[in-house]
A and B are shown apart, each in its own frame.
Chain A
Amino acid sequence: MKQPDQKVETIQVEELIHRVHSFHDDGYRLVQISCAQEGDAFEVTYSFDKNLSISHIRIPATPENPIPSISKIYLASFVYENEIADLFGIPFSGIAIDYKGTFFRTSVPHPFGTSQITVVKKKPEEQHE
């Protein structure tokens, strides 16, 4: 069955807290926060759900500019914000429970945020070298 098309609304970082407050006041549930690379920068998407209908808002992000945490509005956001900070290196300001980079244990810092991972293909006989 074809699912309904999804619309993602892009907003500015300055509008984020106001918009999230509106979702909260209208009784929406925070579904998830995700991050993806967009060119040289990133985009962070917030998803909310009410009455089986899901809405998304998106902001641009860079590792240099902290994003205001929404954990004062939706406490549950702390897991997503810590996850994005650890995997992408995008800072959040004012997270209610801030792990300061220790939520995910990764062998290299911010593995999804930079191209520091190189895949090396080896033949079976070379694998122990």
Chain B
Amino acid sequence: MSKKIIVPFGPQHPVLPEPIHLDLVLEDERVIEAIPSIGYVHRGLEKLVEKRDYKDYVFISERICGICSFIHGATYCQAVEQVMGVEIPRRAEFLRAIWSEYSRMHSHLLWLGCFADSMGYENLFMDCWKVREKILDVLERTTGGRVIQGVNRVGGVSRDMDKEELNRIKSEIPGLRADYVELTRIFDEDLTVQSRTKGIGMLPKDTAWELGAVGPTIRGSGHAVDARMTGYGAYDELDFKPVVRTEGDCHARCMVRTGELFTSLDLIENAIDRIPEGDIIVPVKGNPSGEYYAQTEQPRGEVIHYVKANGKKNLLRHRVRTPTLANVPALVQMLAGCELADVPVIVLTIDPCIGCMER
């Protein structure tokens, strides 16, 4: 038997801009065990809820992550609104759904670019990020922010979109769809991508369920698990259907994300067609008292925002279970038995967001 050696992977690694550390136990070139270690960017954001007004805290919750910021803010607001029994205007729920789907597309395109880069496919990386710029332009135009939008409020949203803007967004969708068709074709058919992803990083269907995986990680293993299916916000009216693949390998997880780009466009089109007229925010008076677990779907998977309050302006507890934390056990499982050269590709297929995970 070969001698076992331990190779440290991260917290600084060329394919991972965020810090996670893995001790890879190797026999020759094969990984037999991966031991994760986190905590390099723990900021204690949840603790801040004890010091900040629950309405001001919306802006802190958006800063949990620099990619899926909008959905963090919306989910936090949703949790507080449920505790307070606030029913927000229907138009605000549709606007949140539209911005959520734009956030998902920008996150998935960012990931697809990074994934291409991890395989040494530089021009595909640039193609993905070129398309992502179009998404960020819409976010900037409609909210004022490319990455941190800052439009969520407890009780609704602070910005509206007029008819002209909604029509403009709708007119841009066919162009985006054409871009996605071309990107999907490359990720699906290119030999370089296939040789680095097919049959690699296997996560069988039963194991994905047992390990509590979420998002494209579990949907790439054959489970239709997506919080949007619960119909929160406006999703009950948007005819949502999850994208599911059954292969359970890196390629499947990649193709779930490319498929979700089209789903997001469909949802945005449906939302524009069905958005009602009316207010975008209701006044919220008083302080929350009670607790609630709000569950929504981020680009990386299901996120849970738990809030607990006792009638004061500061909450007692805010806890965020981010999708990356839920996918760590699945990652450990996928790495056991793989080749050392495949580690960066496999790690990327859970789309790890460490800033999010450590809060």
Q: Residues of A at under 8 Å CB distance from B? A: 1-3, 6, 8, 29-32, 34-37, 45, 47, 52, 54, 56, 74-76, 78-80, 83, 86, 97, 99, 102-106, 111-112, 117, 119
Contacts and interface: CB of A to CB of B under 8 A. Distances in A.
A29 B42 contact: no
B308 interface: yes
A32 B232 contact: no
A31 B253 CA distance: 20
B42 A76 contact: no
A46 B92 CA distance: 32
B199 interface: no
A56 B293 contact: yes
Nearest to A34: B319
B211 A1 contact: no
Interface stretch (B33-41, B126-134, B181-189): B33-41
B329 A106 contact: no
B183 to A, nearest CB: 31
A125 to B, nearest CB: 22
A31 B304 contact: yes
Given A3-B82, A103-B38, A104-B39, A31 B317 contact: no
A37 B316 contact: yes
A74 B42 contact: no
Interface in B180-233: 209-212, 225, 229-233
B262 interface: no
Contacts of A3: 78, 82, 232, 294
Interface string B44-63: 10110001000000000000
